[in-house]
């Protein structure tokens, strides 16, 4: 591939301007509005209007009132990311190295289910995990679940929904990383009498780390802010921070508190991502 | 035994795939289910019927919401594809100041959690005094915003994979810049643009979190499903789910067949088909995006 010469001049700016303006106006500036809204007077309302009073206590109140939801979101998203990593790694590895001429077909099959409406798909888990469903009946038959036990409306159902819905975000970057690995390296480790497990952790896993890092981030970030799975598969006992922000905005119309929560969520994610990427960069991931 | 050992990973991988298809098969099966009269049995298969398929609009508000989603999807796709394609050309073919900050600006919307983007946008609309006018326009603005980055990334990767030798050849043969663009460059980039447009439409059509915050009283299809999920769920939503699955599989398979035929006809190097599938479906996951940070 020959290096394309990049043309100088004003044309580049003209081509770029509309997209950049759109993103600045409707992606960047809104963050400023969010930050501002989080400092509005907390006794204002839609009708009376808000005034900017630099009400930093909004943050304190938000944390105080909603820290359980924050912790729950982190824990659920963490578990979902972990399960996605296990399932996704197996699938990505199988597609990259074991699928032969079915590679393209399997890749299409990975994404195909996710073209059906997110909400319709999530609702159908309600049916699968329901109290008369096959899963509950089987588990009751095996005495893993008590006779009155249920799965729906539990943290298990929420984590399971999150795992299911964000799996492709894990599989695709993992696949991209694993597919680049030279399979001869793995064969070489076998020839040198590494057992498959040692070979995996010394050769395959380290080489796939870029995929692991981007896959876990791309799963964790949307999962932590999601509220669809929790609303449909969980109960009031399992509410996540996304549910809270959503209902404060659309039902309670408490913009300052909702904005403060949103800002906290964003900062938390930024800090975690920076920390994580830094550690991953120094091969300290394990 | 050895055979099993060599296939164990593949079998496990296929099991994971099967797992991803479980809810889909439920959606397809339930699209043939007769809605039970008893509220408590709503989550069980009741009786086979073709009614849902024959009368999809029994609840007119569902079809209304569906129509609105398609309308928003098409307009958002049009907007995002045009703006994004222009930007992709600028990024690959032109030099300008501020390249790395532009890359970050493009990457961030793909990585930011939807709830934060949605609530920021709502804060903007409210503080600009549009709280009472949330609806079609605000949804459209939001959808173009979050589709844009995916279009840019997809078209950019297609453009970056093309060398400009063919264009130089056209110029050497006295084609004007306009002719070169429309006869050589555009046809070569078109598959990337088409993929980006399809991706945009599916993102826009399926978005709930950002839409719900900025929709006011306007209802899109995902919002309709959200609304009925606490009440009686009309089985017709499963018909819509099934149709979406069929249409997207047809598009993917159609693209594949076309690619194969063309590859055979040209007998040349095959266009990076698989890469385009990965790029189109998981532009979110493109490693290039992370490098931008």
Give the pLDDT of residue A46.
63
User: Could you report the predicted ipTM of this complex, rounded to two decimals?
Assistant: 0.87
Look at B282 and B258; give whichever has higher pLDDT: B258
For the cut 60, the answer to whether the pLDDT of residue B100 exceeds it is yes
| pLDDT mean across residues, chain A | 87
Q: Does B145 touch chain A (CB under 8 A)?
A: yes
| Lowest mean pLDDT, pick from B120-129, B202-211, B267-276 | B267-276
Residue A95 pLDDT class (50, 70, 90 cuts): very high
Give the pLDDT of residue B264.
67
Contacts of B204 in chain A (CB under 8 A): none
Q: What is the mean pLDDT of residues A83-106?
A: 91
Domains, in order of start, for chain A: 66-281 (1.10.3720.10)
Give the pLDDT of residue B293.
31
Q: How far from A216 is each of A86, A152, A223, B111, CA to CA, in Å? A: 11, 26, 10, 12
For the cut 60, the answer to whether the pLDDT of residue A258 exceeds it is yes
| Lowest mean pLDDT, pick from A23-37, A68-82, B219-233 | B219-233
> Scanning every residue of chain A, which has its alpha carbon at the shortest distance from the alpha carbon of B6?
A98
Structure token digits, residue B243: 């149709």
Please, which residues have CB within 8 angstroms of residue A31's CB and are 6 or more apart in sequence? A266, B120
| Alpha carbon of A85: minimum distance to chain B alpha carbons (Å) | 12
Q: Does A47 touch chain B (CB under 8 A)?
A: no
Contacts of A126 in chain B (CB under 8 A): 43
> Scanning every residue of chain B, which has its alpha carbon at the shortest distance from the alpha carbon of A169?
B285
Q: What is the mean pLDDT of residues A64-76?
A: 94
Give the pLDDT of residue A44.
66
pTM for this one?
0.87
For the cut 70, the answer to whether the pLDDT of residue A105 exceeds it is yes
Contacts of B44 in chain A (CB under 8 A): 127, 130, 132
Give the pLDDT of residue B176.
87
A104 vs A49: CA distance, rounded Å: 56
A176 vs A157: CA distance, rounded Å: 30
B244·A113 Cβ contact <8 A: no
Choices 3.40.50.300, 1.10.3720.10, 3.40.50.1820, 3.90.580.10: CATH for B60-291:
1.10.3720.10
Name the phi and psi angles at A283, rounded to 5. 60, 30
Structure token digits, residue A285: 């991931």
Task: Tell me the sheet residues that pair with B157.
Answer: none
For the cut 90, the answer to whether the pLDDT of residue B70 exceeds it is yes
Q: What is the mean pLDDT of residues B61-74?
A: 95
For the cut 70, the answer to whether the pLDDT of residue B283 exceeds it is no
For the cut 50, the answer to whether the pLDDT of residue B291 exceeds it is no
The full set of domain ranges for chain B reads: 60-291
Region label for B17, one of left (φ > 0), alpha (ψ between -120 and 50) or beta (otherwise): alpha
For the cut 70, the answer to whether the pLDDT of residue B279 exceeds it is no
Give the pLDDT of residue A188.
87
For the cut 80, the answer to whether the pLDDT of residue B206 exceeds it is yes
A114 vs B244: CA distance, rounded Å: 10
Contacts of B245 in chain A (CB under 8 A): 112-113, 115-116
For the cut 70, the answer to whether the pLDDT of residue B272 exceeds it is no
Residue A193 pLDDT class (50, 70, 90 cuts): confident
Distance of CA B184 to the CA centre of its chain: 27
Q: What is the pLDDT of residues A144-189, one digit of tens each?
A: 887 777 888 899 999 999 999 999 999 999 999 999 898 888 888 8
Q: What is the mean pLDDT of residues A114-126?
A: 88
Distance of CA A231 to the CA centre of its chain: 16
| Alpha carbon of A240: minimum distance to chain B alpha carbons (Å) | 12
Burial degree of B114 (CB within 10 A; 0-12, 13-18, 19+): buried
For the cut 80, the answer to whether the pLDDT of residue A53 exceeds it is no
Please, which residues have CB within 8 angstroms of residue A19's CB and are 6 or more apart in sequence? B83, B84, B86, B87, B106, B148, B152
Q: Which of residues 61-100 of A touch B (CB under 8 A)?
A: 87-88, 90-91, 93-95, 97-99
B213·A246 Cβ contact <8 A: yes
> Scanning every residue of chain A, which has its alpha carbon at the shortest distance from the alpha carbon of B204?
A117
Q: Which of residues 101-130 of B touch A (CB under 8 A)?
A: 102, 105-106, 108-109, 111-117, 119-124, 126-127
Burial degree of B80 (CB within 10 A; 0-12, 13-18, 19+): buried
Structure token digits, residue A91: 């699938």
Look at A134 and A205; give whichever has higher pLDDT: A205
Q: What is the pLDDT of residues B104-132, one digit of tens each?
A: 999 899 888 999 999 999 999 988 888 78
Q: Which of residues 198-227 of A touch B (CB under 8 A)?
A: 210-211, 213-215, 217-218, 221-222, 224-227
Cross-chain CB nearest to A19 (options B87, B127, B252): B87
Report helix, strand or coil for A52. Answer: strand
Helix (H) or strand (E) holding A235: none
Contacts of B148 in chain A (CB under 8 A): 19, 22-23
For the cut 80, the answer to whether the pLDDT of residue A2 exceeds it is no
Structure token digits, residue B33: 């289910």
Helix (H) or strand (E) holding B229: none
Q: Does B32 touch chain A (CB under 8 A)?
A: no
Q: Does A26 touch chain B (CB under 8 A)?
A: yes
B17·A106 Cβ contact <8 A: yes
Q: What is the mean pLDDT of residues B38-51?
A: 73
Q: How far from B133 is each of B97, B137, B138, CA to CA, in Å? A: 38, 9, 8
Q: Does B233 touch chain A (CB under 8 A)?
A: yes
Alpha helices in chain B (DSSP H): 2-30, 51-54, 60-93, 99-111, 114-127, 136-160, 165-172, 177-180, 186-206, 209-214, 221-228, 236-266, 273-281, 287-291
| pLDDT mean across residues, chain B | 84
Q: What is the mean pLDDT of residues B177-186?
A: 88
| Alpha carbon of B152: minimum distance to chain A alpha carbons (Å) | 9
Name the phi and psi angles at B94, rounded to 5. -125, 150
Give the pLDDT of residue A48.
59
Residue A286 pLDDT class (50, 70, 90 cuts): very low
Alpha helices in chain A (DSSP H): 11-23, 29-37, 57-93, 103-111, 118-128, 134-141, 155-179, 183-191, 196-199, 205-207, 209-225, 228-233, 241-250, 255-281
Give the pLDDT of residue B42.
63
Give the pLDDT of residue A222.
93
For the cut 80, the answer to whether the pLDDT of residue B12 exceeds it is yes
A105 vs A83: CA distance, rounded Å: 24
| Alpha carbon of B274: minimum distance to chain A alpha carbons (Å) | 6
Q: What is the mean pLDDT of residues B177-193?
A: 90
Residues in chain A, how many? 286
Q: What is the mean pLDDT of residues A225-249?
A: 91
CB burial readout A33-56, b (16+ within 10 A) else e: bbbbbbbbbbebeeeeebeeeebe
């Amino acid at each position: 591939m020959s290096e394309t010469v990049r043309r100088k001049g004003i044309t580049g700016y003209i081509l770029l301007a509309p997209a950049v303006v759109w993103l600045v106006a409707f992606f960047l500036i809104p963050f400023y509005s969010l930050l501002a809204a989080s400092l509005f007077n907390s006794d204002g309302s839609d009708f009376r209007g808000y005034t900017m009073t630099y009400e930093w206590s909004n943050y304190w109140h938000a944390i105080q009132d909603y820290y359980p939801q924050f912790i729950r979101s982190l824990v659920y998203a963490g578990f979902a990311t972990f399960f996605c990593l296990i399932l996704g790694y197996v699938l990505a590895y199988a597609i990259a190295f074991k699928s032969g001429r079915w590679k393209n077909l399997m890749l299409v099959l990975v994404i195909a289910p996710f073209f059906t409406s997110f909400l319709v798909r999530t609702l159908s888990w309600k049916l699968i995990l329901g109290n008369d469903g096959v899963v509950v009946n089987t588990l009751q038959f095996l005495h893993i679940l008590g006779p009155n036990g249920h799965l729906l409306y539990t943290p298990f159902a929420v984590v399971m929904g999150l795992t299911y819905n964000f799996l492709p975000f894990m599989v695709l970057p993992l696949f991209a990383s694993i597919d680049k690995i030279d399979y001869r390296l793995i064969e070489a480790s076998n020839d040198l009498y590494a057992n498959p497990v040692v070979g995996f952790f010394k050769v395959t896993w380290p080489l796939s780390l870029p995929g692991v890092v981007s896959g876990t981030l791309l799963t964790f970030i949307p999962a932590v802010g999601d509220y669809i799975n929790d609303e449909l598969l969980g109960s009031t006992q399992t509410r996540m921070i996304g549910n809270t922000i959503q209902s404060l905005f659309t039902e309670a119309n408490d913009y300052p508190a909702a904005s403060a929560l949103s800002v906290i969520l964003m900062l938390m994610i930024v800090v975690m991502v920076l920390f994580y990427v830094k550690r991953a960069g120094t091969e300290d991931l394990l | 035994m050895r055979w099993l050992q060599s296939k164990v990973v593949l079998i496990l991988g296929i099991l994971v795939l099967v797992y991803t298809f479980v809810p889909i098969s439920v959606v397809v099966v339930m699209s043939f289910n007769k809605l039970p009269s008893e509220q408590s049995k709503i989550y069980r298969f009741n009786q086979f019927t073709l009614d849902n398929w024959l009368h999809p609009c029994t609840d007119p508000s569902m079809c209304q919401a569906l129509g609105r989603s398609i309308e928003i999807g098409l307009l958002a796709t049009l907007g995002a594809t045009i703006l994004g394609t222009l930007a992709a050309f600028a990024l690959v073919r032109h030099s300008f100041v501020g390249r790395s900050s532009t890359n970050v600006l493009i990457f961030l919307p793909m990585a930011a959690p939807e709830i934060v983007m949605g609530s920021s946008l709502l804060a903007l609309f409210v503080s600009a005094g549009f709280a009472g006018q949330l609806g079609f326009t605000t949804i459209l603005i939001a959808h173009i915003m979050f589709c844009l980055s995916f279009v840019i990334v997809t078209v950019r990767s297609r453009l970056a994979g093309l060398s400009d030798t063919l264009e130089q050849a056209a110029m050497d043969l006295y084609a004007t810049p306009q002719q070169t663009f429309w006869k050589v460059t555009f046809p070569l980039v078109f598959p990337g643009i088409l993929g980006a447009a399809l991706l945009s439409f599916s993102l826009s059509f399926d978005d709930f979190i950002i839409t719900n915050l900025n929709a006011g009283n306007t209802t899109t299809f995902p919002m309709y499903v959200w609304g009925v999920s606490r009440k009686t769920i009309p089985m017709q939503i499963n018909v819509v789910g099934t149709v979406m699955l069929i249409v997207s599989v047809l598009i993917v398979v159609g693209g594949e067949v076309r690619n194969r035929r063309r590859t055979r006809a040209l007998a040349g190097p095959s266009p990076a088909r698989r890469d385009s599938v990965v790029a189109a479906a998981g532009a979110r996951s493109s490693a290039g995006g992370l490098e931008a940070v």
